[in-house]
Amino acid sequence: MKKVAIIQRTLVQYRREFFDGLKNALAEEGVELTLIYGKQNSDEGLKKDEVDLAWSQYVPNKEIKFGKRTLIWQPCMKELQDKDLIVVESANKLILNYLLMIKRGFSKTKLSFWGHGRNRQDKPNSFANQFKYLFLKQCDWWFAYTSGVKDFLIEKGYPEAQITVVQNAIDTQFIQQEYAQTTDLEMIALKKELGIEGDQVGIFCGGIYPEKRIDFLLEACLKIKEEVPDFQMIFIGSGIDAPKITHAATLYPWIHYVGPKFGKDRVKYFKISSLFLMPGLVGLGILDAFALETPIVTTNYEFHSPEIEYLEHGKNGLIVDNTIDHYSKAVIQLLLSGEYKRMLEHCRASAEKYTIEHMVENFKVGILNALH
């Protein structure tokens, strides 16, 4: 039996179904999967989005300060001794990666990278990204988040035949089912609880940290409210910038902060909302927008995650110029004209395309190809 290990610095809740599905899919192919993970640091932990899996192995991370940078040591070499393939996150700060790259030259164990290819929240030619590029080809296989990541790796000289596009996803099928099962009575009760009477509702759902641009969004919401008097805004999530939303909610009764919600607990909030407002970094949250039939409105912000590729402007969402005026005007028009309703069919189609089942299958096939 072939043995594969995937190492994660942290284990976040939206990966639970993926790893469970991948373990089962590989077992059917006679491949044993081991998942090794650590925990978030104190700032990241504010997101409150970590989980544990009974069959996985928890190995505490050790943080090492190196000047202004923090390096991460994942002490799991012992757990990797009998593995045929090791899959690691592509990140400069993970010390273990460098040891595995060295070991690769003296071992039959294969090494795979999984990730974006570069830090998308930094300039392409920054020092950190230039450093990352030095090691892009020091592996036997690449698991690229999206087709755009694959194109980037090929451009950097990595062999196309050794790249798997995993099509990064979440369990859209589950949340679609929960959305369909949410009743009118539940929606009426929730609106009453929040004090919402109309249908002009925006929602934000995700980690609340600087790249999400909460200041930008709050200022845009004020402009939207001026033109759409019954506009209401719901914020779901947690993170270092959450106090900004808490403060705004004390000033404006039409701003509702409900804290972090996961799985079906967040679905009802989307069902009473018309648009998903996220002017900052867009990542996997775009799949919430599709599956929960709440078209996303974002900007041409330069630091989006690869999943921004899933947005088809004017069809399943909107991407506008990166100013508060352009953003607020676009939202106002969508709400007042009702044009966002035309996007719902495209959202549903996108939710069927980007699924956890497809991601599991893509990753499984990639692992089998890497092994053989």
Structure confidence by residue, pLDDT tens digits, 71-86: 999 999 999 999 999 9
pLDDT in tens, 174-213: 889 999 999 999 999 999 999 999 899 999 999 999 999 9
pLDDT at 45 over 60: no
What is the band of 120 on the pLDDT scale with cuts at 50, 70, 90?
A: confident
What is the band of 219 on the pLDDT scale with cuts at 50, 70, 90?
A: very high
pLDDT, position 144: 97
Range 23-44 average pLDDT: 89
**Which of 327, 317, 318 lies closest to 354, judged by CA?**
317
117: phi then psi, degrees, rounded to nearest 5: 90, -35
Q: Which run of H or E residues covers position 331?
A: helix 324-337
What is the band of 113 on the pLDDT scale with cuts at 50, 70, 90?
A: very high
What secondary structure letter does DSSP report for 317? E
pLDDT in tens, 146-164: 999 999 999 999 999 999 9
Range 26-53 average pLDDT: 82
% residues pLDDT > 90 (the chain): 88
Alpha-carbon distance of 22 to 134, in angstroms, equals 30
pLDDT at 48 over 80: no
**Which of 261, 128, 272, 277 lies closest to 212, judged by CA?**
277
Alpha-carbon distance of 177 to 141, in angstroms, equals 35
% residues pLDDT > 70 (the chain): 98
> Beta-carbon neighbour count of residue 295 at 10 Å?
24
Range 106-127 average pLDDT: 92
> Which structural domains are found in the chain, ordered by start?
2-169+355-371 (3.40.50.2000), 172-353 (3.40.50.2000)
Range 41-70 average pLDDT: 80
Q: Which run of H or E residues covers position 143?
A: strand 141-144
pLDDT at 51 over 90: no
Q: What is the pTM of this model?
A: 0.87
pLDDT in tens, 285-340: 999 999 999 999 999 999 999 999 999 999 999 999 999 999 999 999 999 999 99
Alpha-carbon distance of 84 to 3, in angstroms, equals 5
Sign of the alpha-carbon torsion through 257, 262, 263, 264: negative
pLDDT, position 42: 55
Which residues are 3's β-sheet partners? 32
Alpha-carbon distance of 372 to 370, in angstroms, equals 6
